[in-house]
Amino acid sequence: MLISAIAIVTLVRLVVGATYQWTNNIVGLGFLSAFLFQAISDQTHGQVNYANVQTAASQNLTFASTNSFIVQADSKTVLNPNGPGRNSVRLQSNKRFTTAVTMFVLC
């Protein structure tokens, strides 16, 4: 038990001691160019179909305007239990980070 407590304190100390700089401010339409829509097969072999940007937009899974970006679940498709699954959006940042803190303002 004592070893666990020491490990937690050490980890907290490492996190608290870090200094980060604000490097990106991605708002609204900026999401469309800052992220890659990964239209790939589900790596966990679940029932999901990752949609490309065109499919996501046409099925209203994503929407961008000047100051907002919306990603939402497909709540309309009636699924076949043996079928490919529900369309979903998987995003990957175009920019690579080694250490980062990500902040989202959700309204």
Tens-digit pLDDT string for the chain (107 aa): 344 444 554 555 555 667 777 888 888 999 889 999 999 988 888 888 999 999 999 999 999 999 889 999 898 889 888 888 899 999 999 988 887 777 777 76
Type of residue numbered 60 = N
Type of residue numbered 11 = L
Single pTM value for the model: 0.71
CA 71 to chain centre: 9
Four-residue CA torsion sign, 32, 39, 92, 45: positive
So where are the chain's domains?
25-107
